[in-house]
């Protein structure tokens, strides 16, 4: 992996860490203080996180110069796919593996992150300079 690609990957991971901390905090807050179920709490956390992720990744990680409306549509579609993968992981962990729902929420993050990175790099922001 070249320095540029490695640097880009670490930027994406940095955005992901910030995004995950905010999203997971919102998920846990919704569950603990507002007694929301896993599905609703997860949706809130990831919705807010998606706005943060699109903004930071398009400008900072991928230095995207293309049409932002088109990128936002592509990003939304790929995020739905990655979110679905996350949700399957979370719900399977809870329902079939008997994992605590708070831990299961955290286990869904790497699945979402890896899927999101590759779709962002090769589908959403592929016309960028990096």
The pTM (predicted TM-score) of the whole model is: 0.74
Domain ranges of the chain: 3-124
Listed in order, strand segments (DSSP E) in the chain are none
Six-digit token pair at 114? 């890896």
Joined tokens for residue 104: 């299961």
What are 30's two structure tokens?
A: 């919704």
Tens-of-pLDDT digits for all 130 residues of the chain?
677 778 888 999 999 889 889 999 999 999 999 999 999 998 999 889 888 999 999 999 999 999 999 999 999 999 899 989 999 999 999 999 999 998 998 999 889 888 999 999 999 998 654 4
First to last CA, the chain: 13
């Amino acid at each position: 992996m070249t320095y540029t690609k490695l640097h880009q990957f670490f930027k994406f991971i940095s955005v992901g860490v910030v995004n995950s901390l905010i999203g997971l905090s919102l998920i846990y807050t919704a569950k603990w203080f507002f007694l929301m179920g896993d599905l609703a709490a997860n949706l809130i956390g990831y919705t807010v996180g998606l706005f943060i992720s699109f903004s930071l990744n398009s400008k900072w990680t991928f230095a995207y110069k293309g049409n932002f409306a088109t990128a936002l549509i592509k990003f939304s579609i790929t995020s739905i796919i990655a979110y679905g993968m996350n949700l399957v992981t979370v719900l399977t962990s809870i329902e079939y593996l008997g994992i605590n729902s708070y831990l299961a929420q955290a286990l869904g993050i790497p699945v979402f992150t890896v899927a999101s990175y590759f779709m962002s790099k090769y589908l959403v922001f592929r016309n960028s300079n990096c």
